[in-house]
Amino acid sequence: MKVVIVGGVAGGATAAARIRRLDEAAQIVVFERSGFVSYANCGLPYYIGGVIEDEEELTLQSPQSFHKRFRVDVRVRHEVTAIHTHSKTVTVRNLETGEEFAESYDKLLLAPGAKPVKPPLPGIDGERIFTLRTVEDTLRIHAHIRREKPASAVLVGGGFIGVELAENLRALGMEVTIVEAGRQLLGIFDADMAALLHAELRRSGIRLVLQSAVESFAPQGGGVAVQLKGGGTLQADMAVLAIGVAPDTALAKDAGLALGLRGSILVNDRMQTSQSDIYAVGDAVQVKHFVTGEDTLIPLAGPANKQGRIAADNICGTESRYGGTQGSSVLKVCALTAAATGINEAAAAKAGIAADKVILSPMSHAGYYPGARVMTMKVIFEKETFRLLGAQIIGYDGVDKRIDVLATAIRAGMKATELKELELAYAPPYSSAKDPVNMAGFLIDNIKNGVLKQWFWQEADALPRDGSVTLLDTRTPAEYARGHIEGFVNIPVDELREHLGELAPGKPVYVICQSGLRSYIASRILAGSGFDAYNFAGGFRFYDAVMQERRLAERSTPCGMDE
């Protein structure tokens, strides 16, 4: 059997190694149009920032090492330009010599990945405007920074690459501005959670220009002028496009393969295309979202590697099926770690799923052990069934392991209430006896059983201040003095029982504290005394972060720049 693989990064390289492990006699040829194979896309911003110092660390295998270990014929700087399904051949161009030749296959695997979105804006091809997708892109940016020593940069796009690169350029001492057309960065997070990330980026000296699209680029004084729609110009020494990626599927389209969303390649759960002997994996393929069951595109390295393995299994005659992608991801945002899995609240609404959520602020490990830091967790679940839909966590230590537990729970089909039953490892330096994931389960179980009723930051402005409801802040007087919601009276939770007579009976009580714990205790005291009490989800710390972001948005100019 002869297998030709187009693309040798995540999915393609994984498939090649798996095919060899399953079939020692197979002839495997990999064509990769860049000069590198099996490289670490996710590490590229960190090489630019100097965190990864040796460029060789970016490549997991070389053509030589791949051949030595797996006897795979890897040819870099070779581009497949056409697929001929009737003759089962591909046309290949050697990018070094220009030579073209035909290569036959028994099975063909497409792993072309995605290409950076590059809209046809005036001046977009300027010499100081870069994209970041390949090792070559990285080396080009790295060399430019070392040679020209730019003092400032504009990054267009607020996704993973834009945010990670912003942090790394800022670490080099550059003035960095992120321009994002949407209202927030990192759309995998809900806007209220993204507010925490915006604040962290601003604290780190990174300027955010939100709700603003780029109209054009122009050279100016040895740098670049970035013209924004609606007015306003940003000037910098360099610019990087990180608007997003699109499936790189021209080859598949020309071959007549069935296509899906945004021109992606349609595959079944065996990673098989509309041509039975052609498979496709990675960022170029349409997948089913594991939570919603909807068709989607989720360009992540983890799913691409899994798809490569599944395609290899099926190519070699082993039954293997892909169950969908749930979009589990984690990234470093300056001092913070931000992670998500499944769908967020906005995506649930778009999918027509009636969802509820809990927002909590547990510590990363036992509070009495030194170094404990607060994290913010938002867990989404279906209202009627309590099916676990997704989670977002922002904090410091321990964020990654909690999101992995929640991702596993989603994959296992657990109910959100069952999180309370998980037996997770505990020692004071690493967790608490009641892990944050357990705490989320306790809260959701309390909602199910009617023990907890919540209210959310979106309701704060609409709460009546006419005395028809009681608004209660249960923090200490010092905390209250540093900031509170207008109209809320301050009675510390430990003094509440002595002041119950001052509260009007029969009126709903809306309770808040700093993190949500003391106000929950207060709501139980109130409920036990006959009051109808509602606890604020997330606490004043969360509310204040969201409100600060909203105030900044209101003060921004029409083009999205802070005044």
Contacts of residue 488, Cβ cutoff 8 Å, sequence gap at least 6: 471, 472, 473, 512
Q: Which pair of structure tokens corresponds to residue 529?
A: 């005394």
Determine which one of 42, 334, 513, 559 is catalytic. Answer: 42
Q: Are 328 and 340 in contact (CB under 8 A)?
A: yes
Do residues 7 and 282 make contact, with C-beta atoms less than 8 angstroms apart?
Answer: yes
397, 403, 405, 410 alpha-carbon torsion, rounded to 10°? 170
Q: Using DSSP, how many helices (H) and how many strands (E) does the chain show?
A: 14, 30
CA dihedral defined by 116, 117, 122, 127, rounded to 10 degrees? -10
Pull the structure tokens for residue 4: 């030709």
In angstroms, how far is CA 183 from the centroid of its own chain?
16
- The H or E element spanning position 305 is helix 301-315
d(CA 357, CA 81): 49
Does residue 42 carry a catalytic annotation? yes
Q: Compute the distance between CA of residue 11 and CA of residue 281 in angstroms, rounded to an integer.
A: 6
Nearest to 265 by CA among 366, 114, 121, 141: 114
Classify residue 325 by its DSSP letter: B
d(CA 239, CA 217): 9
Contact call for residues 296 and 325 (beta carbons, < 8 A) = yes
Return all residues near 152 (Cβ < 8 A) that are at least 6 apart.
174, 175, 176, 177, 223, 235, 236, 237, 238
Contact 390, 340 (CB under 8 A): yes
| Catalytic residue numbers, as ranges | 42
